[in-house]
Structure 1
């Protein structure tokens, strides 16, 4: 079986790096001096080392940890993988597992990835149950989180492949991926899907789907099992994105690029790595704001009363537009990530339907909660007037993500982006007052 380092992208990167190294060496041997070339290579030894690590670490990680229920995937923190591989190579694999568990029980560390998962169209119907499972997981209620994670895993895959994650004959491999390499999710499917025919209350350390959901493995409610199930669910996010991007079924072979193409690819790769490092450094400095309504920000006002580039300003703008029934401007404030393919006119029509028969006549903000560098929630009390004049108060919230012009989620303040409201939160307002007399 080919290794992850043999993936198309890694081969491309390795070929580019080696070609440029050879070219630089040849230039020095021939005594050629080129300031442009010198500039590109000066201090880049560490960069070449990063390339090599990026290609080697995922294979090493899976070799050490897949049998224990952990796999490498694209959005898994690379420094964490590298640290765990280093510990395992020094005979400290149990210590490495503790580091993994610490990561998957840190809500701040993975919240941006769980939010990204819920943006995938096939996963959106599972949002509420997944939020419940995450709440159970982070609060130690593993008896509840594990079965929910397993159900979300199975159903999510079924909606994409028409076969569940644990089904016999399921093919979870996707061209040029880490998560969907044969040593990744395919291996997890085999391990977690093993038959469990004996009832036991002994503690297990792997989320055996059949044993747990069929009531045979009664000792499943622990942090290891829950964390491994959550890790698999997050890995499936990268798998689903690759499938939705059309990568499944491709068998494209790597063809070495020309010298000019190599230079361009190397430059792009260097810039991307530097960009990733800057983004990570920015996220490490992020801190939650502590806002008190009525002191730090007003409970109601015009958008200009709130600081620019904040989630509360976006929500107040949305509510101000709602008071005026300006559904077009409201549509502009919706998450681009979630509404790809829908025109502004269609979205405005959907918003009009949601608020049909309900006129917003008053509101007040109650709290602002920064969940992650790119995710915030704004809580409020809304007062609607229904057809007929009856007034209804509703306490609720809107969840927002910080998105660039392409709809990609970025850390707050890292680069130019805008706070956008997640439409599934808005849709919940359709039922406000539905059962009131």
Structure 2
């Protein structure tokens, strides 16, 4: 099998392909995603000619009958180029068996490999080109994407702890084919690329050729529209950041008055921006106006909410809260010294301090649980205790948080003593500069 041969000197590669590969940002490690197809193979050759520190990454999805031959082909190419190669074999969940589902699952699995590899300062090159961008924009248009989706693939973005860069996003596939053929390169074709069962392949083979014939400047026109959408999305994000600064009251809520002062489009823009900031998928809502009206205009004492995948937006008193779904441990859990405990969205630690650093200070059993009803708390030594339910209401703790709030008890001969209420209050015995118990109780919440 012909494997492509040694790379030509950098001066022999056309400037429109080598220039964007030569002028890379500073990096610690440089990797090239290598599938074995024309685009990635040509990119590896050009990158290896321009840089001495290139490493190839081949992700074997094990979906095609000839996947082992393709993997060996990539190894042979890298051997002839004297380029190290990282090969990752993965298993892609087939799911429902629908073509689009499998296609998306393979892509997500591939990017998880890249994400894991990337460390601070690392750069991964991918060979996406202008035709890929066209297909992406058309595909997202048919899915009903907004301007963020219609912006297409960005030239560069963060990936894992490093960055991803697509140096040939402005170059058409026809140009890449021309250069590869002129250099006598050989590559492997993925048989699934010819199947029009996959949506992107249908666009590539059945739709795009006719569009290009009708509009010869199609790649340039779509690229221009994608850039305009990217600009609009950038402005949307900047506007949302300004509105968040004006409305936010802490890291997980906004004031109702500030949110109401925005118009409907601004409210929706702010919510979508915050969902993305939290890494949450956008909710599938047929009528945003109706949902926002119900959220904002419900009667006092009502508990309206906007539900999304894995989260909700809830209203309580004069605030809107961004609430992630969280699993809270059932039953009691005992806290061990210097071993942080994850409790829903809280992290609880019993840390040694003072005399406990140098001696084995006795530790009373510390129990963590949720409310069961009837709990009392003594906020100040020598003063009467109070019903926890009443105190939580006075503090304005939303009802849904009260049920999941971690309560920390110290067990003693005279019964259990409540020493911490989430991150809202901690007994003086376990807080301050020199806790009397010799141990400091630290309760932290993710969104604080």
Question: How does the TM-score come out when normalised to structure 2?
Answer: 0.25
Higher helix share: 1
Higher fraction of strand: 2
